[in-house]
């Protein structure tokens, strides 16, 4: 990739300036007091790992919260909360996320934070953090050859619906920077962009050739998409003039993503479980057809966190596509924005705080966010907020969120201003991923008689 230096204003000093300086939200209207500034990508030949990864910002010490109840237990060990039953040294984990720009707190809690936990529980920390990234790569060559964590930016999945090319390119880079800012370590996890590995498309086509159309038609996500294409003159007929094959074959590409790395475990939410079942079916079908166990049968690692809900309508999940910025908290939101959004979040008029997602979805959603970010258990949270009001929970949550996101945002600003170096890291990940992918693809093509 190439970059072009752009003129920039002096580096912003306050938080609102910093966030506008680094990121322009793609779909949400900017707050009136937001200051838009162009930034200059700082080009340098090397970037020290101590600068890029000088800390693991994904786990700020929430025990330092001055308002924390002193009688509470110490912060729980995050490894204790991960759903990793059955993982061992032979396990291979794969997961991917679509490039839709800066993630919101629901993306972070539901997926990305779990990636960090998997990385921390599955690998050893990188040593020699004061050396530059290139030197660190060479010293960890043997470790990288045995990487078992593959995290991908699913750019090919993103184009199953119309996408502005410039916006997609921008959002890819924003997500690349975010993955590093939250604490993913390229020396312990293989980070890469899906469209840069041609083997994904090759294997997807091979799997298309053994996938029954009937199974794809029964996919819940496909059925929900069909609802958007109902014929205006009939309640039962589908207007298929706008239907695209990419939407129907989406789960097959997803299966190729997983099987290409011979993944044994896939962290997913409940809404993706059906797609993983198709992956298992295709793996078994291929293995049986060619009498060769080329593909392991992957297992589900359900994320332990509940789905984070829309702040203004907790009956639906938090989504970046929602037009109102008040419905979601982005990882780049300033303290003032976080405060405004949390204070205006829908709750109820019932005194006392109780966790009841069915009858009190608003309060329960805030509790879910608080527990995920603070690391507290449900019992600890209940003890802390017993006989207190919703406003108390909101104020505590504001403080916890601001403190947790502060180091992530600081690192993100740094990375967004070092585009060339971020791209170098993902190029290194591409080479490692391509090596694994090509070996699997060659094995498959040999069985098919294509090699």
Residue 69: the pLDDT is 39
Q: Is the pLDDT of residue 422 over 70?
A: yes
- Quickly tell me which residue has 């044994």 as its tokens: 264
Among residues 195, 119, 145, 123, which one has the least CA distance to residue 439?
A: 145
pLDDT value of residue 229: 67
- What is the residue-wise DSSP string for 179-200? HHHTT--TTTSEEEEGGG-THH
Q: Could you tell me which residue, 303 or 426, shows the higher pLDDT?
A: 426
13-22, 27-36, 214-223, 381-390: range with highest mean pLDDT: 381-390
pLDDT band at 272, cuts 50/70/90?
Answer: confident
Average pLDDT for residues 233-258, to the nearest whole number?
A: 81
**Which DSSP symbol is given to 299?**
E
By the 8 A CB rule, do 115 and 267 touch?
yes
* 401 pLDDT more than 70: yes
Whether pLDDT at 339 is above 80:
yes
Q: Is 425:190 a contact under the CB 8 Å cutoff?
A: no
Single pTM value for the model: 0.77
CATH superfamily of 91-124+142-211+243-448: HUPs (3.40.50.620)
Domain residue ranges in the chain: 91-124+142-211+243-448
Residue 265 has pLDDT above 90, yes or no: yes
Q: How many CB atoms within 10 Å of residue 281?
A: 16
Beta strands in 64-126 (DSSP E): 93-97
Q: What pLDDT sits at residue 305?
A: 79
Mean pLDDT of 182-194: 97
pLDDT of residue 226: 74
Closest CA to 177 of 421, 373, 10: 421
Average pLDDT for 412-424: 97
Q: What pLDDT is stored for residue 161 in this prediction? A: 87
Q: Find tokens 């604490």 and name the residue.
A: 183
pLDDT digits (tens, 9 = 90+) for 96-155: 999 998 999 999 999 999 999 999 887 655 444 333 444 444 444 444 445 599 999 999
Measuring CA to CA, which residue among 283, 308, 303 is closest to residue 95? Answer: 303
The average pLDDT across 352-376 equals: 95
- More reliable by pLDDT, 282 or 56: 282
In percent, the amount of the chain with pLDDT more than 90 equals 60
């Amino acid at each position: 990739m190439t970059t072009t230096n752009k003129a920039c204003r002096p580096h912003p000093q306050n938080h609102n300036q910093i966030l506008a300086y680094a990121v322009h939200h793609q779909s949400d209207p900017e707050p009136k007091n937001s200051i838009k500034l162009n930034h200059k990508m700082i080009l340098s030949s090397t970037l020290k790992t101590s600068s890029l990864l000088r800390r693991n910002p994904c786990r700020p010490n929430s025990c330092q919260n001055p308002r924390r109840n002193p009688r509470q237990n110490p912060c729980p060990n995050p490894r204790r909360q991960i759903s990793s039953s059955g993982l061992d040294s032979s396990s291979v984990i794969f997961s991917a996320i679509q490039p839709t720009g800066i993630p919101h707190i629901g993306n972070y809690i539901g997926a990305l934070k779990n990636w960090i936990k998997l990385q921390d529980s599955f690998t050893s920390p990188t040593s020699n953090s004061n050396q530059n990234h290139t030197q660190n790569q060479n010293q960890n060559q043997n470790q990288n050859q045995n990487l078992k964590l593959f995290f991908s930016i699913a750019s090919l999945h993103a184009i199953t619906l119309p996408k502005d090319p410039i916006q997609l390119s921008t959002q890819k880079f924003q997500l690349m920077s975010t993955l590093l800012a939250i604490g993913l370590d390229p020396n312990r996890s293989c980070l890469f962009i899906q469209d840069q590995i041609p083997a994904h498309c090759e294997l997807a086509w091979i799997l298309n050739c053994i996938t029954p159309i009937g199974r794809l038609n029964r996919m819940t996500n496909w059925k929900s998409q069909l609802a958007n294409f109902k014929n205006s003159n009939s309640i039962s007929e589908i207007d298929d003039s706008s239907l695209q094959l990419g939407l129907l074959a989406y789960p097959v590409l997803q299966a190729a993503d997983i099987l290409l790395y011979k993944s044994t475990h896939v962290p997913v939410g409940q809404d993706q479980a059906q797609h993983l079942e198709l992956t298992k079916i295709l793996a078994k079908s291929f293995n049986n057809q060619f009498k060769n166990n080329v593909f392991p049968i992957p297992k589900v690692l359900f994320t332990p966190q509940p789905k984070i809900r829309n702040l203004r309508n907790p009956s639906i999940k938090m989504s970046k596509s929602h037009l109102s910025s008040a419905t979601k908290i982005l990882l780049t939101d300033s303290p003032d924005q976080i405060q405004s959004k949390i204070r205006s979040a829908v709750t109820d008029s019932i005194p006392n705080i109780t966790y009841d997602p069915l009858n009190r979805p608003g309060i329960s959603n805030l509790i879910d966010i608080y527990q995920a970010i603070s690391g507290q258990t449900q019992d600890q949270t209940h003890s802390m907020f017993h006989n207190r009001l919703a406003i108390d929970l909101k104020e505590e949550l504001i403080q916890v969120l601001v403190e947790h996101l502060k180091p992530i945002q600081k690192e993100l600003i740094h990375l967004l201003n070092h585009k060339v170096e971020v791209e170098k890291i993902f190029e290194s990940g591409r080479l490692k991923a391509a090596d694994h992918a090509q070996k699997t693809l060659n094995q498959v093509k040999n069985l098919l008689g294509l090699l």
